[in-house]
Structure 1
Amino acid sequence: MTDSKGKVSVWAAALQDHYFHRDAGVPKSVAKQREKWDRENKRRQQLLNVRLPKINAPKKAASIPIMLEPDVVLDKVSLAQKMGILESPPKRLNPSEWSEIKERAKKSHAMYSNGVECAICCEPFAAQSQVVLSCGHSFHRNCIHAYERHTRSKRCPLCRTHNYETLVTSDAKLAYYNDAATTIQSVWRMWRCRRVYLQYRRDQVPKHPLLRKQFHLDKLHKLNQTLDLQMRRDKRDMDALFKEMDLSIKMNQDAFDKFTKWYPEEDDWDDVLDQLYKRNANPLDESCSICLSILSENRCQDGVKNARQQRKIALLSCGHVLHDLCISSFEKYSGVAKPVCPICRCQYRRSLFPA
C-alpha cells in the first residue's frame, strides 16, 4: 500500500511539472533570476581566466573576441513523458536538421538582416537573445516566452505550428556585431581618406592654370584669416590693457582728490583765515552752528590750553568755523559721500583751526 502511494505521489509531481512548464512557460521572475545567475557565472569565469601580460612581450594588434553562446535546444522531455505517464513527443530534431532550418532562415534573410524585426515586439534583433523555431521563424527569447505564458499554448505566432521546438542561437548577434564593425571601419576609412586627400591638396600645387590660381587664392585666404584672427586677439589684449590702465588712473585720481580734500595747500588756508578775520576779528567768540555752544568757552583765561577740556575747532574752506567733533558727527550721520557745509550748503574741505 505504501509503494502505491509513493508511486502516485511521484506521478502527481511529474504531471504537475509537465503541465506547469507546458502551459505557463518559464515565469518571468524565475527567468530573470536565472539570467542573472548566468551573467554572474560568466563574469566570474572571465575574472578567473585573466592573466597579467608580460612586460617584454612584443606588441600585437589588439583584438577583442566576440563571446557567443552555443546553440541550445530549450524543449526537453519532461519527467512524466520519461516515465510513460504521458505520450512521448515526436522525435526531436537532430543538429543536422537544425542546421538546415538555420540555412533556410538565412536564405530568407530572417535572422541576418539588420532591418528585420521581431514579429512580436517589432524591434530589431540586435544583440539580444534570439530563438529559432522548428518552423523556421525567429523571435526574441523574452518575447516568445511572454507569448507562451499569456496564451498558455505553444503555437507559432506567424504560421500557427503546434508544439514547435525552440533553439537558442547567436547568429543574429554575430551578424549585428559584423555590421557594426563594418560601419565603424567604413566611417574611419572615409575620415582617413578625406584627411589624406586634404593634406595632398594643401601640399601639391596643381598644374592646370585655373586650379593653380584657385590654389593660391585659398592659400592667401587662409593667411588672411590667420592674420585677422591674430589681429583680433591683439586688439582684445590691448583693450584689456587700456581698461586696466584707465581703472588704475581713476583709482589714483580718487586717492589724490581725497588727499587734496583733507590736506590742501597752506597758501589756500592762509587766504581762508584772512577772509575769516576780515569778516570777524574774534571768530572764536561766535557759537557753533551745530551744538550752539561758544567755540572758545573751553579755553582758559590766560590762554593756556587744558588738554582734558579742550575741544578742537575745525576750519572749513568756505570760511566757517565749527567744533571738529560736531562736523565729524555731521558728516558721519549725513549719509552723503560728499557732505556740504551746514551753513552755506556748499562743498568744503576742512582743517584744524590754528592755535
Structure 2
Amino acid sequence: MLRNKDRSSNKGNLAVTAVALQDHLLHDLQLGHLSVADPCKIKARKKEKKSKSLKRDATAIIDTGLRKSTEGPNMEDPEKEYVLDPTPPPLTLAQKLGLLPPPPLPLSSDEWERVKQRSLLQGDSIQPCPICKEEFELHPQVLLSCSHVFHRACLQAFEKFTNKKTCPLCRKNQYQTRVIHDGARLFRVKCATRIQAYWRGYIVRKWYRNLRKIIPPSDAKLRRKFFEEKAAHHEIYECSICLTPLSFHGDGRQAAIGTSSQRPRETVLLSCAHLFHNACLLALEEFSLGDNAPFHVCPLCRSCYQKKIVEC
C-alpha cells in the first residue's frame, strides 16, 4: 500500500511539473507581454483605464459665470525617455513552484543610465540598425537592457516574426526596453554640420572669385587675359589723350561717325587696364621722357605699366 501511495504521489508530482512547464512554455511563446506589442491594443487598454478612473473621480462642477484663465495644452518633451514595459510579466506556475527562476525586476534609473553609457561607449547609435542596416535618423529608437539599440519598428517586426522576446544580437531572453533619442540627436548634429560646411564652402568660393577679379595672376598668359577682360568690362570707347574713338571697341562707332574709310589706329592695353591709341601713348612717352625715364606712368591712374598692342 505504501509503495502504491509513493508511486501515485510521484506520478502526481510529475504531472504537475509537466503541466507547469507546458504552461510556462505557452506563456513564453505568446506575444501578450512583448515590449513593443500592438499599439492599438495598448491604447484601447489605456482608454478603458481612463474611463474607469474618470467615472470614479467624477465630481459636480458649479458654473459661477467667471471667466477662467485659458491655459495652453501641456506639451510633453519630445525627447523624454521612458520604459515600455515598466512592470514584469506575472509569474507562471513553473516559476511559482521554483522550477524556473522568476523574471528580473525592472531596472532602476541608475541601472538604465549605466546601460545607456555602455551603449554609448560601443557607439551603437552612430552605427546603422542591426536589423534593417539603415541609419536611425529621426525614426523611433529603443534601447534594450542588454545595451543593444534598434529601430522600434524593426524590433516589433522581429518579435512578431520569431514569436518570442529575444535580443536579435545577444539572444538574451525577457529583456527590458526603453525609448531613447540618441540617434535623432546625432542625426540633427550631423545635418547641422553638413549645412554649415556647405555654407562655409559657398562663402570661401565667393570670396575667391572676388579675389581673382581684383588680384592679377602670376602666370603671364593668365595675367594678359586678366587685363584684357578687365579692360573689356570697363567699356572704354575713347582714347583719353586724343578723345577719339578706339578701334578696339569702335568698329560700329567709327562707321556711324563717318571715319570707316580711314585706317584704324592701333590700340594699346596697359597693365592697369586702361586703353589708349598707341600713337598717342608714344607721343606722351616722348613728351615726358626726361621726367620718368626709363619708367612711364599711366596718364589716368599714375601707375607704372606694361603695355600690349590689342588686335582689332
Q: Which structure shows the higher helix fraction?
A: 1
- Bigger radius of gyration, 1 or 2? 1
Work out which structure has the larger RCO, using CA pairs closer than 8 Å and 6 or more positions apart in sequence: 2
TM-score range (shorter-chain normalised) is: 0.3 to 0.5
Give the TM-score taking structure 1 as reference length: 0.42
